[in-house]
Structure 1
Amino acid sequence: MFARAALCCFILLLRLELGHAKNNYEIIINTLKCRAVRPLAITEMNCILHRKRTPIISARFQLNETFQYFDIHTTFDLYKKDNTRMNVADLKMDGCKYLGSMYESNILGKLFRRFKKFTNLPTGCPILKGKLYEIRNYTFRSDEYPPNVPGAKWQVRTRLLRRAEVIGDILMEGQLVYNT
């Protein structure tokens, strides 16, 4: 879920149009890490990267308390040729509102409609204590993303917050590579 939010920010920032033809690039995810920073709030939190090229991911988490609200803080960085990072976005958003807006008709509606088939995430708060939430074998398909996106290495870090305290951390690193 949270890795998905981070990737959504990446897509929106690069271009706000969806292509209908198959894109001539591959999305590669090199790293996907999740960790519960505050284990008293999150009983279980893990992510699995099943395949790097045409990535397939799974994630699951279970809370130790019901969340009536939470915030998401996402940073998106591009790597320059000299391997220094350039911050492209630093976004803070209401997590409950984000969950609800994911499935509304928007520019990425096609992407989110397919994403919904692979998850049991709620469409808003509360997020219930003891319920196992999962993203099961979600495949990233380049034809659902904008065309003509520049090739780049990137990093997305998403932090889940309650009362300004970090409770979970997700890191995703990857690249967009054109097929030549």
Structure 2
Amino acid sequence: MTLVMYQFCRGFKLLILLSSLIAAENRHLSLKWDTIECHTHPSYVTDFKCLIIQPRRSVLSIELTLLEDLSSVETYTLVSTKYKSSPHYRKLFDITFDGCRVIADVAQSALVTKIYKAVIQSSNQPRKCPIKKGLIYYRNINIEDVLPSFMPVSNLLVQVTFSNIKEYYLNVTLKGKILQN
């Protein structure tokens, strides 16, 4: 692909994204989780709980006991959507980032940082790495207020994998719905 064609495609994608943002500017979205599944690596984690909090089902709580210190945290997040008429989920976006860097740079205004701040509001998450072994909790996680306005009204699948030196210690899979109020 030539550089001109590549730039044209990037510009076209940006135009579509901006159009979506303008159209979605005045709508308020809500989030309802249907299921949460957590899988842990037994070498790293014991005694874990993953819960959807009633009655609105937009709030989550996660608790786990780390069996050893984590010198690094790599986080991979995949967000997929599915419309009622479609049988399959389609990837909306995926991102891999250094969790320790996000912890250290919470002053950023990026989406990842906004979600991180919403997640740690009622948490004992350490504010620097390494993360020490012991109980880690994230209570009353609500990312509804930081949902980007361009998120489509649809079914939602979120998969998050937390790894320490390329070996996962926690996988979280969420299914839910984004609704327009």
Opposite residue 59 of structure 1, the aligned amino acid is I
Quickly say closer, same or farther: Cα 1:24–1:163, change in 2 above 3 A.
closer
Q: Mean alpha-carbon deviation: is it higher for 38-47 or for 48-57? A: 48-57
SS where residue 93 of structure 2 aligns? strand
CA distance in 2, matches of 1:82, 1:71: 32
User: Contact 2:79/2:94 (CA < 8 Å) preserved in 1?
Assistant: yes
1:95 and 2:104 aligned: no
User: Contact 2:76/2:95 (CA < 8 Å) preserved in 1?
Assistant: yes
Name the residue aligned to 1:32. 36
Q: Mean alpha-carbon deviation: is it higher for 104-113 or for 59-68? A: 104-113
Quickly say closer, same or farther: Cα 1:88–1:22, change in 2 above 3 A.
closer
Unpaired runs of 5+ residues, structure 2, are: 1-16
Q: Name the Cα RMSD after superposition.
A: 2.9
Give the percent of matched residue pairs that are identical in Structure 1 and Structure 2: 21
Which structure's relative contact order is higher, taking Cα pairs within 8 Å and 6+ residues apart?
Answer: 1
Q: 2:138 aligns with which of 115, 135, 139?
A: 135
Q: 1:58 aligns with which of 43, 58, 61?
A: 61
How far is the alpha carbon of 1:138 from its aligned partner? Answer: 3.1
Normalised by the length of structure 1, the TM-score is 0.73
Unpaired runs of 5+ residues, structure 1, are: 1-13
Opposite residue 91 of structure 1, the aligned amino acid is I
User: Contact 1:118/1:135 (CA < 8 Å) preserved in 2?
Assistant: yes
Q: What are the Cα deviations for residues 48-100 of structure 1, in whole angstroms up to 9, with x where unaligned? A: 11126361211112211111112112211111431212112232221211222
Name the residue aligned to 2:165. 163
SS where residue 125 of structure 1 aligns? coil
Number of aligned positions between the proteins: 159
Q: What are the Cα deviations for residues 2-29 of structure 1, in whole angstroms up to 9, with x where unaligned? A: xxxxxxxxxxxx88x8xxx995332111
User: Contact 1:51/1:57 (CA < 8 Å) preserved in 2?
Assistant: no
CA distance in 1, matches of 2:90, 2:115: 27
How far is the alpha carbon of 1:175 from its aligned partner? Answer: 1.2
CA distance in 2, matches of 1:30, 1:176: 11
CA distance in 2, matches of 1:147, 1:90: 17
User: Contact 2:104/2:128 (CA < 8 Å) preserved in 1?
Assistant: yes
